[in-house]
Amino acid sequence: MFDEVSRNKRNSIFLILIFLVIISILGVILGAIWGSIYFGGILALIFAIIYSLIVFKSGDKMILSMSGAKEVKKSEYPHLFHTVEGLAIAAGIPTPKAYVIKDSALNAFATGKDPSNAAITVTTGLLEKLNRQELEGVIAHEMSHIKNYDIRFMMLTVVMVGVVLLLSDFILRSFWFGGGRRRDSGNSHLIILLIGLALAILAPIVVQLVRLSISRKREYMADASGAILTRYPEGLASALEKIKDDPDPLVDKANRATAHLFISSPFRKVKKSSLWSTHPPINDRIKKLRGM
């Protein structure tokens, strides 16, 4: 557990390599459709690099804006500030900025590029309905995401999914509207087009499943790391019980792109967890915390 930061940094590099390979393959397929493999590959890589830099530089601000989060002052929510400051000292990282979403749902998330540029966001519903120890448990969970560099790792997965989705969609459009002009180039070209069509359809599904799997594993680790930070697993376990029993869990401005960042799914309750779930079963998380 205490090697998590190093593991996340290694996984981030590995993720970037996989990302570049997938982008290159999709770029080559796109180039084959256009008639120039090299042009397609180079164009895809340039697009991926520019997109990655934009998202990585301003992605956290975009997420906060999309979520309707507002930065707050210590005078407005002194208990929230004291909790964030205290746990940041305990975690040995700079104090993250504090944001609040005006929403009755019980939820929270962390975002940013690294511990020096991070923010913790909570809903007003969470602040109103959790006691001190429960709030500490939730903040410690989010603080662990920051300390363990989960925020950077998850930002990279967002970039990967976004670029693959855009390129796959572009390939499909090029295939249907432009690829037909070159179908008489021979069997080899037809085979490339068919492979490209299959990849364009399957690649988004694969990267989405990878992203969701990573998200579920990160939640388990943040639960455990947060419990170690507070030395009181019951605080987070009790908070998760209240979150589970929330009659209106929908965070109004949440969307599919940011759902994995929240401590619990910001959408309506689903009957059971699946490969497409952003979070592991909440009852399982509570059981693991109470078994510590």
Residues designated as active site: 142
The Cα 105–Cα 128 span in angstroms is: 10
Tokens of 194: 């068919």
Alpha helices in the chain (DSSP H): 4-34, 37-66, 78-91, 124-129, 132-147, 150-177, 187-230, 233-244, 282-290
Picking from 271, 267, 263, the residue whose alpha carbon sits closest to that of residue 252 is 267
The Cα 179–Cα 232 span in angstroms is: 60
The Cα 238–Cα 243 span in angstroms is: 9
Q: Which helix (H) or strand (E) holds 98?
A: strand 97-101
The Cα 148–Cα 165 span in angstroms is: 27
Radius of gyration of the chain (CA): 21
Contact present, 285 and 220 (Cβ < 8 Å): yes
